[in-house]
Amino acid sequence: MAAQLLGNQLKLGSNRLMPKLAAVVVLAAVLALCIRLCVLDQQHYLVPDRAVAAGESLNQVSWNSVSANLGNLQGRYLLASKRPAGFASQTLEAGQLVPNSSISPLKPGQIARVVVSTKTQLGQGIRTGAKVAIWSAEKLLNNHFDAPRKIVANAVVARVIKQQGMFSAASQQVELMIPPIQTPIVLSAMATDSTIFLVAVQ
């Protein structure tokens, strides 16, 4: 009888303990997720300590590092892992995150913007602010193509234009910033229906 009573008490205590254990497990999971979102997933970004005018050299700018969790947008802004070089292509506000698209290796006025279409799959490195080389394969007779050759060594991706529709994957458009002197060769490749390749460079 005593053993049965003791068993019932243990069972009752176990039933009372289970909800508490479940609550502790849920609380620990929520706490771990908060720590990951607030601390572990944060990246360090550079922000200018003063306003930077469009066309100004970035070599004269002092930078501060800030932490932020931007999720999928983190690749669009200037990371603190490498000091930027080049020029501001638009005004940069003091203390504000800097979009990669607002930095150019060329001074404004020395830049031409062209939109190229490519039928090849874009690599993961082809995104706003990325440096790329432009290659072209000239179209020959009978729908054959010549060997690819590099026509622009240093271009900067201004934006990747999202295509819509049934055949959007067949042709992708990218706006590039290139030296004006190299504009004719790019336009010539496009006019002759040559295949355009974009290759990310370091």
pLDDT category at 6 given cuts 50, 70, 90 is very low
In 3D, which of 176, 152, 174 has the Cα closest to residue 163?
174
Which is more confident, 197 or 120?
197
What pLDDT was estimated at residue 69? Answer: 84
Q: Side-chain half-sphere of 182: how many Cα atoms within 13 Å?
A: 18
Cα 135 from Cα 196, distance rounded (Å): 6
Cα 200 from Cα 182, distance rounded (Å): 18
Distances 3 to 7, 8, 9, 11, 14 between C-alpha atoms, Å? 6, 9, 10, 12, 16
pLDDT, tens digit (0-9, with 9 covering 90-100), for 18-73: 566 556 566 666 665 555 545 445 788 999 998 887 788 888 888 998 988 887 77
Find out whether 194 and 138 touch, Cβ atoms under 8 Å.
yes
Residues 6+ apart with CB under 8 A from 81: 44
Strand residues in 17-148 grouped as ranges (E): 43-48, 63-68, 87-88, 103-104, 112-118, 131-137
Cα 77 from Cα 74, distance rounded (Å): 6
Strands 63-68, 43-48: parallel, antiparallel or unpaired by DSSP?
A: antiparallel
pLDDT category at 169 given cuts 50, 70, 90 is low
Helix (H, G, I), strand (E, B), or coil: what is residue 183?
helix
pLDDT category at 129 given cuts 50, 70, 90 is confident
- Count how many residues are written for the chain: 202
Cα 136 from Cα 184, distance rounded (Å): 13
pTM: 0.54
Find out whether 161 and 173 touch, Cβ atoms under 8 Å.
yes
What pLDDT was estimated at residue 35? Answer: 52
